[in-house]
Chains A and B, each alone.
Chain A
């Protein structure tokens, strides 16, 4: 299927859209819609890395506590510290999403 056919399909799908929705999107609406999608993308994909990274930290901490249970307090503290640092990128994504949603949209 070539690009022409795909764009014809997209146009037909879009032309089934209701009459009450403006057929042509205005500038401010486009900005708002883009902010919403941007916020969703930022938070959705931004959350992947910290989640996996914190899981690794927790796993290694469990392994270490299994080896030396008497140091569990120290190990838990170190795990939480490492996870907090790994959390920062998730918080950045969260802040950017909120900015996009509440100020730019």
Chain B
């Protein structure tokens, strides 16, 4: 097969993975917001301006911005000139697929997660249309925090595209695919989880607007804790970038891929689980501000226990890279 054909195949697969996976989450998330907005309109037919405005802001900030990231990466994958003439054949294909996996899986999570705050904000506005400004403002901030795992994925995707990762060919393939999986799948759970946590906070603010400051503070804490697995994924991706001196061979390729799979997929459950803990905790705090301390403590304990599995996955990723 000619090199140009192979290059084209790499670009097509990479761009397809990026936009295909990235679009799923944003699509579902925007649908959740729209469903909730319609329900709100049914309950408050006279407030259609407020409802439609909340719904559109929720969709634009949630699904809209999240799906721009995979679009940008896909355009880069398709049209950027090959930066390094050394990078040909399998290396090029693997780099493009790695970048696509990173941003595709990463933005899947944030796009889906941003649906929760959007949907609960529509609920809140339907319940209390005069509170549209505080609810929408906090929804936008919650969605922005839920998008930070996608930013991590974007950083790794851009690094993969614009800096050539050294290493003999098989090791290079392992590094780029492993790094793409580690940060892509690693950002998936935290994106969904911090969105779910934000949804709980916005529900609380909608139902008990008088306690909005306390609820909002705890919502941000809950969202921040959900991001830990994404940081593990980022860490493993950077560690993989330093492993270019591994002995060339299929076992090295397997080691690099296994580290990426363990660190990446191991973070999904921890991210989503911490999000569920944060969701109900934020609602409980909004309902009873006086018990804030004890609920926050229980939430943090529960989230920490829920993240032990992500720590196991990180340990396995490091063992497979350094000890074996």
User: Which residues on A are within 8 Å of B, measured CB to CB?
Assistant: 8-9, 12-14, 16-18, 20-22, 25, 29-30, 32-34, 36-41, 43-63, 65-67, 69, 72, 75-76, 79-80, 83, 87, 90-91, 93-94, 97-98, 101-102, 105
Contact = CB atoms under 8 A, between A and B. Distances in A.
Most B Cβ at <10 Å: residue of A33, A40, A45, A54: A40
25 contacts: A13-B94, A17-B169, A21-B169, A21-B249, A32-B254, A36-B324, A40-B260, A40-B262, A47-B313, A49-B269, A51-B270, A53-B273, A55-B193, A55-B273, A58-B303, A62-B295, A62-B302, A65-B291, A66-B284, A66-B295, A67-B288, A79-B301, A90-B312, A97-B262, A101-B316
Contacts of B170: 17-18, 21
B319 interface: yes
B56 interface: no
B90 A76 contact: no
B146 to A, nearest CB: 16
B276 interface: yes
A61 B305 CA distance: 13
Contacts, number: 240
Interface string B271-293: 11111111111011101101100
Nearest to B302: A58
A10 to B, nearest CB: 10
Most B Cβ at <10 Å: residue of A14, A58, A59: A59
A26 to B, nearest CB: 9
B28 interface: no
Nearest to A40: B258
B30 interface: no
Most B Cβ at <10 Å: residue of A57, A63, A66, A87: A66
Given A44-B185, A46-B266, A65-B295, 10 more contacts: A12-B1, A29-B251, A41-B261, A47-B313, A48-B269, A51-B272, A63-B284, A66-B284, A83-B306, A102-B323
Contact of B254 (A18, A34, A66): A34
B55 to A, nearest CB: 27
A37 B256 CA distance: 9
Given A18-B168, A32-B254, A36-B254, A66 B288 contact: yes
B305 A87 contact: yes
Given A39-B320, A43-B262, A52-B272, A18 B294 contact: no
B161 interface: no
A76 B304 CA distance: 13
A59 B95 CA distance: 40
B255 interface: yes
B294 A40 contact: no
Contact of A51 (B168, B253, B262, B307): B307
Contact of B313 (A13, A43, A69): A43
Nearest to A64: B284
A40 B305 contact: no
Given A51-B273, A87-B305, A62 B250 contact: no
B169 A62 contact: no
A69 B290 CA distance: 9
A33 B285 CA distance: 49
Most B Cβ at <10 Å: residue of A17, A21, A58, A76: A58
